[in-house]
Amino acid sequence: MSVTAVPLRPIAKGSLTKLWVGVAALVLAAGGLAYAGSASVGALEFEVVQEGTGPSPTASDVVLVSYVGKLDDGKVFDENPQAAFPVDGVVPGFSQALQKMKKGGRYKVVIPPSLGYGAKAAGPIPANSTLHFDVHLLDFKSQEEIQRMQQQMQMMQGGAHPGGIPGQPGQ
């Protein structure tokens, strides 16, 4: 067996140090950009306290929830033991959270300002507020199911008003 010697040029003094300084600078720059990107967007925080069962609501569903909404300082700005509303009819962060929930489940949700009311104040909620919610998803139905139920109730009351709501102008 023969060994072939390949001449290697010597490394200039300080080159290895410069290489490591460059690598460290790149890592720091990448970390800084990642941090800046995550801080500006803000992420929804979602914690399952008690897992529910079955499917999750979609953006076109109507939910029945019990909730308490608080600010960072713990001050309650809103609460309701039984609120019904469309999933797509609330701030983006709350809508996203609802679509992760399951019927009967209890959840803690933290909504950053970018997914809440942003730079606008809304009633007792100051501008740029992080919103904290304790939510219990009681039930949900599709909007079509809700409309069918309303029509059935109107029929049962004897004063059927197909396609409309009793007491509305033009009915």
Q: Is residue 30 part of a domain?
A: no
Structural domain count, the chain: 1
Q: Is residue 154 part of a domain?
A: no
Rounded average pLDDT over 14-37: 67
Q: Is residue 78 part of a domain?
A: yes
Residue with tokens 């959270």: 97
Per-residue model confidence (pLDDT) at position 167: 43
Q: Is residue 119 part of a domain?
A: yes
Q: Is residue 65 part of a domain?
A: yes
Return the amino acid letter for 102.
K
8 Å CB contact between 80 and 66: yes
Q: Is residue 11 part of a domain?
A: no
Domain limits for position 62: 48-147
Q: Is residue 96 part of a domain?
A: yes
CATH number of the structural domain spanning residue 61? 3.10.50.40
Model confidence pLDDT, tens digit, residues 111-133: 999 999 999 999 999 999 999 99
- Give 36's pLDDT tier (boundaries 50, 70, 90): low
Rounded average pLDDT over 94-104: 97
| pTM, to two decimals | 0.67
Rounded average pLDDT over 40-52: 86
Q: Is residue 121 part of a domain?
A: yes
Average pLDDT, the chain: 84
Rg of the chain over all Cα atoms, to the nearest angstrom = 28
